Amino acid sequence: MKHAFPPLTSLKPGLVLASVALLLAMTLWVMPVVAQDKAATSEAGSAKVLATVNGMPITESDLKFAEEEIGRDLGQLPEPTKRRVLVEFLIENNLFAKAAEKADLSSQADFDDRMKYWRNRALRDAYFDKEINNSISEAAAKTFYDDQVKGLKTQEEVQARHILVETEEEAKDLKKKLAEGADFAALAKEHSKDPGTKDDGGMLGYFSSGQMVPAFEQAAFSLKKGEVSDPVKSQFGWHLIKLEDRRQKPPPTFDQVKDRILAAMIHQRAQAVAAKLREGAKIEYVDPEIKKEAEQQVSEQDAKRKQIEELIKKQIEAKDAADKAAGGDAGATSDAKAKDPATEKATEENKDPAKQEK
């Protein structure tokens, strides 16, 4: 059975998403993800046949490898759609491979070099999964998240509405209507020049310090819940601001940042493993230009490291000097008190039995 579907294997991986987006007529927000083997698949499950091409099976195991190759280019596609796209990718991959065999392309001079490259790549991916991906668990990410959340400083944020008009006179007139009982949201829908908020009654949502222009922010944070500001001027015009709520900004939930934490932990682990492998290897750059570039990079890294080390050293020396100065001042004060004649005289008088009897 033939299916009308845009050719996928003929595209570079980075263009797969564009083809899918065109097919589905939808806009996708692509988030960076790291391909991970989320759950070990049983042998029977990995052998499950999903489609056949001229009798040749395409299995769950094939789908897993395809997802590792192009999965990140598929972004936030729904899971059923993503699986369908991956199967189509594998179907065309198979068709192109068979066409190459018929054309006897495997006998060409560069085919062995290509096979050598992909063998090394497959070995690299297998090692990466075992030593890096599988070494970072969701539980470890959750522990990291919990530690970071504990150290977060609380930050206040406010929820506000606003009405934007062109002149101060318009703003004052609307403020008068509000004082007479008019509804803020209704006036915003009718009069506000802000196309992004007017249909929602001027609602801006929650925002914290630094997110709005200074004059607007200062006015908003100075209000009490339910209060409306006097006209506030900004580069956009004149605003009336109504404070709807005030709260401590909650930290992002674990689910909101889980993928980013896992990606960062995997990246850090990968760098450490790569550095260790490099230390145990003899690497020689034969090409003069590549060698020069590599040596320059090493030199720049060494310079930055020395700069950081020197800065740390100066900070430590400054702290030691400050501590020594503080200790010297304290010692001088103690010595002055010990040698104070008045203190010594009072001490002697206290030891005098005649003084004690009186």
Query: 171 and 96: one domain?
Result: no
Range of the domain at 182: 156-248
* Domain end point (choices 208, 224, 248): 248
Structure tokens at 312: 């740390």
Q: How many helices (H) and strands (E) does the chain have?
A: 13, 6
Please check whether residue 268 lies inside any domain of the structure.
no
* Domain end point (choices 190, 224, 248): 248
Which residue is associated with the tokens 């320059």?
296
pLDDT confidence tier of residue 22, bands split at 50, 70 and 90: very low
Query: 163 and 236: one domain?
Result: yes
Q: 355 pLDDT exceeds 70?
A: no
Please check whether residue 230 lies inside any domain of the structure.
yes
Assess contact for 99 and 223: CB atoms under 8 A.
Answer: no
Which residue is associated with the tokens 């280019």?
73
Q: Which residue has the higher pLDDT, 127 or 44?
A: 127
Please check whether residue 292 lies inside any domain of the structure.
no
Query: 162 and 241: one domain?
Result: yes
pLDDT tens sequence across 58-68: 999 999 999 98
Please check whether residue 309 lies inside any domain of the structure.
no
- CATH number of the domain bearing residue 212: 3.10.50.40
pLDDT confidence tier of residue 44, bands split at 50, 70 and 90: low
Please check whether residue 276 lies inside any domain of the structure.
no
Taking alpha carbons only, the member of 120, 70, 119, 114 closest to residue 90 is 70
Residues, the chain: 358
Query: 98 and 176: one domain?
Result: no
pLDDT tens sequence across 306-340: 999 889 988 998 888 888 887 665 555 445 444 44
Q: 349 pLDDT exceeds 80?
A: no
Please check whether residue 289 lies inside any domain of the structure.
no
CA atoms within 13 A on the CB side of 250: 5
Please check whether residue 298 lies inside any domain of the structure.
no
Count of domains for the chain = 2
Does residue 111 sit in helix, strand or coil? helix
Q: What is the pLDDT of residue 76?
A: 85
Query: 101 and 181: one domain?
Result: no
Query: 171 and 103: one domain?
Result: no
The dihedral built from the CA positions of residue 173, 241, 224 and 213, taken in this order, carries a sign that is negative
Query: 169 and 91: one domain?
Result: no
Please check whether residue 28 lies inside any domain of the structure.
yes
* Domain end point (choices 211, 233, 248): 248
Query: 101 and 21: one domain?
Result: yes
pLDDT tens sequence across 226-284: 999 999 999 999 999 999 999 998 888 999 999 999 999 999 999 999 999 999 999 99
